[in-house]
Each structure stands twice: as structure tokens, then as C-alpha cells.
Amino acid sequence: MGGILLRLLMGIIAAAIAASKGRNAFVWFIAGFIFSFFAVIVVLFMPDKKLIRRFRNNRADKTRTDWRKKVERECPYCGSRVSIDDIPGNWTCPNCGKAFIYSTDGRTYKIRDDQILPPVELMIKLFAKLAKADGVVTENEVRQVDTIVRQAFQPNKDQLRQIMSLFNETRYSGEPFEAIAWNLYDSVGGSRGFLRDALTALLAVAAADGALRPEEESMLLKAAEIFGLSEAYASIKARFFADSGREGPQPGENLEACYRLLGCSENESDDTIKKKYRRLIKENHPDRLVSSGASEESIKQANKKVAEIKRAYEQIMAARA
């Protein structure tokens, strides 16, 4: 009987010590009842679980504080104090709604007024590549790009100057159309609304000359695929090319005049006509005039001439199909 009472006493002592250290009192009561003094000694020298938990929480709190450190800075636009994370980058003032830069030097700066956003830059590059797809950028295509840019992006004078410079540079760059399209997709996070507007704008540029050429449509189809809009391509295209499915020349189109413009005859082969067509495009290409410092009127006439040559060639090929 005395032995059982002693074991009960050891169980109670072990349970009391365990509870004070944040451990399971019931488990240690059983251990004390079974192992007597040995269990009491073990639990007595065990570390305090409450202290361990408090130490870990303090370390976690310190880490969170360092990572999410808040600083107050002055908005460079409205002057109000803004609380932000101490991480350099772009932040938005909750009072005036304008974005500003928090620099690594701990200061805030206005975003440059002439800065062009990445999606806009990429759209300009796509316009340039598409306009150059058939070998020549016509006046109508440039005018259409200018209209879209002014209406959609509303640039100031400095931005517009940068945009046109970027457009001209991209025409001769080796950057692939597909790579630019993928960069645009990534820059807008795959936003379907923005990408649909982008595809619509590209088709508007392609339609500036009144015809959709194979080189242009190849690019447009690739853009639609990258943007995830392949199923919507036909409906968007129909807004600009309602008669794109026609075959052969239409009434009033003078094939004889087309052959005469290209300097060939109906008896010549397709390959021969194609060679003469390419030679004429090369000879009348407005880029040659630009490089020689020709007047704006001369360049305008060259664009018009190239458009006529292309139209004549397309009518001849359609009649032979």
C-alpha cells in the first residue's frame, strides 16, 4: 500500500513540474507513477517549453520587423507624408494618387514626365515590325500609327518624339516580332483586355493601305496565338477587312493597266513578273530617298508609287490564281 502511495506522490510531483514548464502534465503523472524518482529527475532538468516558445516568437517578430520596416517619406507631388515599406521602387501616394520613386538613397523623386511605359514601347515596336513586314513603310501606315498613339496613349511632345524615334529605329532592328509580342504579354500580365486592344490596333495598322498582305497576316496570326486570342482573330479582322475573302479582280479593275505599270505582259510567267515587281519596289523604295536627304514631298510621292505597284501586283496574282 505504501508503495502505491509513493508512486502516486511521484506522479503528482512530476506532473506539477511538467505543468510549470509548459509540458503535458497527464503524461508526466503517468511517467512519475511508473518510473518514480527517475521521471521526476528527468522532467526537473528538461528545458522550459514556455521559454523556448517565447524565444522563437521574439526571433520571428524581430525578423518580420526587419523585413517589413516602415518609413515615412514626403510625396514629391503633393508634399504629404506617406508611410511605405523601406524597399526601393515605385510607390503610389494615397492622397494625390500619383506614382513616385523611392530611391536607394532614401529619397523620393517624381517619375520623369517624358518616361514611356514598357507596354507602350513594346506596342510601338510591334507597329514598326508590322509596317515593315512587306518591305516598305507607307505614309498611310505612319499616319495610322500616329493616330493610334495620340488617341490611346496621349503622349506629350517629348514622349511623342521618343515614340517616333523608337518606331524608326525598330524598323531596321533585328529584334524578332515574336519576341516583342511575348515581352508585351509578360509586361501586362496576360491582361486579355489590353492584349485584345493591342491586336485590334495592329490590324488597324495593317489595314491602313487597304489590303492585308501575306507577310502581315503571318505576323498577326502569330501575335493572336501569343496573346491567347486565336479564336477571336477572325472577328476582329472582319472589322477591318470585310471583303478579305474575295477571289480574283473586281469589276472596274484594269488588268492591262496593272501589267503596264509593272512593265510586263500576260504571257510572262509568275516568277518573271515577281522579279520585275521586286525590282520596281527596290527602285522606288522611299527609304532610299530618306537616306539621300530628299524632300518630304518626294518621299510622299515615293510612298504613293510603291502602294500602286503593290496593288497592281496583287491584282495580277489574284487574277492568275
Helix, strand or coil, per DSSP, at residue 87:
coil
pLDDT band at residue 158 under the 50/70/90 scheme: confident
pLDDT band at residue 227 under the 50/70/90 scheme: very high
Contact 124, 172 (CB under 8 A): no
Contact 200, 237 (CB under 8 A): no
- Rounded Cα distance, 247 and 320, in Å: 10
Please give the span between the terminal C-alpha atoms of the chain, in angstroms, as a whole number: 114
User: Which pLDDT tens digit goes with each residue over 304-314?
Assistant: 777 888 888 88
Which residues, 6+ apart, have CB-to-CB distance to 122 below 8 Å?
180, 183, 184, 187
- Rounded Cα distance, 316 and 321, in Å: 9
Mean pLDDT of all residues in the chain? 79
pLDDT band at residue 1 under the 50/70/90 scheme: low
- Rounded Cα distance, 77 and 171, in Å: 38
DSSP assignments along 22-51, one per residue: TS-HHHHHHHHHHHTHHHHHHHHHSPPHHH
Out of 87-101, 172-186, 255-269, least confident range: 87-101
For strands 70-74 and 89-92, give the pairing.
unpaired
pLDDT of residue 244: 43
Q: How far is CA 172 from CA 123, 168, 175, in A?
A: 16, 7, 9
Residue type, 132: K
pLDDT of residue 240: 80
- Give CB contacts under 8 A, 24+ apart, made by 153-156: 153/120, 155/116, 156/113, 156/114
Which of 66-80, 149-163, 191-205: highest mean pLDDT? Answer: 191-205
Report the side by side order of strands in the sheet with 108-110.
89-92, 99-102, 108-110
- Rounded Cα distance, 239 and 222, in Å: 19
pLDDT band at residue 178 under the 50/70/90 scheme: very high
Largest CA distance in the chain: 127
Q: Which residue has the higher pLDDT, 26 or 112?
A: 26
pLDDT band at residue 176 under the 50/70/90 scheme: very high
pLDDT of residue 226: 94
User: Which pLDDT tens digit goes with each residue over 82-137?
Assistant: 998 877 777 888 888 777 888 767 888 877 666 777 888 999 999 999 988 877 78
pLDDT of residue 67: 42
